[in-house]
Structure 1
């Protein structure tokens, strides 16, 4: 088992969470520089040209994009497999991963979490309430209608836990940060699926770090995480001035 993996990315990010859950499930050791993309320095820009997280560093190799990283890790460490063996199921798992990364990224992250949290605390800007309302009252219910039609009543999407399950749950974890709760009467499958997936030990371990980070000022987060036992790296690519990423949307 390699101990050379290094992750650049904040525990609060659903994209980082997806990768870290995969690493936890595979028993992979890593160090982490838990920065948000908005406070990355020029070296971060060199490693991540779009100023997005996570970034995986494996010796001299730099791998960007959470989906690419997860597939890279799954091919390097095949057990437990996080992509279904059946070609059709594997295609569907990749589609649901992409659906989460792109659409839930738009709705939950840019429509809600960025507006309510990041804009206010990093940039001193007010949320655009029209964007938040549209995401919360229109887009997310439409999303849950779709997920209710594909999620299983019990267990996971393809029998055993896959990257699709991990991806979907990772974004709804961020929805909870802005006080969104899935209505179990309207979407019983989705609510039960999220409850059992987020209760998995890999998610719960990361939740310990996430919950403390949400209550800790940015300059104090690295030391707090070290005290909790997180594998925080000695060096950081963070800087004092927040800078909007190329992925940013208002």
Structure 2
């Protein structure tokens, strides 16, 4: 019997969420070491030289980067497929995933979530209100205007659920953690798309762990998740003092 895959990365990371949703949808067994990258030890640095999450470990194979991991999962566990078969649609799905990972990552995670949450509670530093205001009021509306033209009024982008739907919704889940809600009058397609995607069972299952994680100090999260029955690894790499990674994007 094959061993469960191992995921290293915190439940509230949108990049980790993207991978976990793929695993849930494909029915693949996994264990998770739910650490934030900021508290990863030296072994974590060896496995992730950029000190980024998630990491996937499949036996001796170690993979970094959520996009690489999701493509590996698609190749190894092809059913149900989370990438369109049509080459043009498949390429477009990858582009929308990249747009989410890059632009929404910069705006939602670094401009809002990091500033309002991580910077204050992990590093004890003041929120830069100017950065937050620019991200929320200027940069995020640019993304929402673009997505409003790309997303369907009903259902998923390519008919069946795909990596594009998963990636986009994952970032707006983090936006909700810092009390941002998409204006349904200004961006009705995007607001409805995010709501129905996050309502899918795979997202809802993870949301139970996310909701407790976001309300729990870093040093208590593993204990709380164990009590909830999360599929934790036997050991953790999250025992170091908080420090920043070598790159901005996680």
Instruction: Identify the TM-score tier after normalising by the shorter chain.
Output: over 0.9
Q: Judging changes above 3 Å, is the alpha-carbon distance between structure 1 residues 26 and 19 closer, same or farther for their aligned structure 2 residues?
A: same
Equivalent residue number for residue 105 of structure 1? 105
Q: Is 1:114–2:82 an aligned residue pair?
A: no
Equivalent residue number for residue 48 of structure 2? 48
**1:236, 1:205 → 2: CA distance?**
22
User: In the TM superposition, what is the alpha-carbon distance from 1:234 to its structure 2 partner?
Assistant: 1.3
Structure 1 unaligned regions, length at least 5: none
User: In the TM superposition, what is the alpha-carbon distance from 1:2 to its structure 2 partner?
Assistant: 4.3
Equivalent residue number for residue 26 of structure 2? 26
Equivalent residue number for residue 59 of structure 1? 59
* SS class of match (2:122): helix
User: In the TM superposition, what is the alpha-carbon distance from 1:220 to its structure 2 partner?
Assistant: 1.4
Q: Is 1:75–2:75 an aligned residue pair?
A: yes
Q: Judging changes above 3 Å, is the alpha-carbon distance between structure 1 residues 102 and 218 closer, same or farther for their aligned structure 2 residues?
A: same
Runs of 4+ that moved beyond 6 A: none
**1:122, 1:85 → 2: CA distance?**
42
Equivalent residue number for residue 4 of structure 1? 4
Equivalent residue number for residue 143 of structure 2? 143
Kept after mapping to 2: 8 A contact 1:2/1:29? no
Q: Is 1:228–2:222 an aligned residue pair?
A: no
**2:217, 2:106 → 1: CA distance?**
26
* SS class of match (1:123): coil
Structure 2 unaligned regions, length at least 5: none
**2:80, 2:3 → 1: CA distance?**
18
Equivalent residue number for residue 213 of structure 1? 213
- TM-score by length of structure 2 reads 0.98
**1:241, 1:248 → 2: CA distance?**
18
* SS class of match (1:63): strand
User: In the TM superposition, what is the alpha-carbon distance from 1:65 to its structure 2 partner?
Assistant: 0.3
What RMSD over aligned residues (CA atoms) do the two structures have, in Å? 1.0
Equivalent residue number for residue 181 of structure 1? 181
User: In the TM superposition, what is the alpha-carbon distance from 1:217 to its structure 2 partner?
Assistant: 1.8
Q: Name the stretch that deviates more: 1-10 or 164-173.
A: 1-10
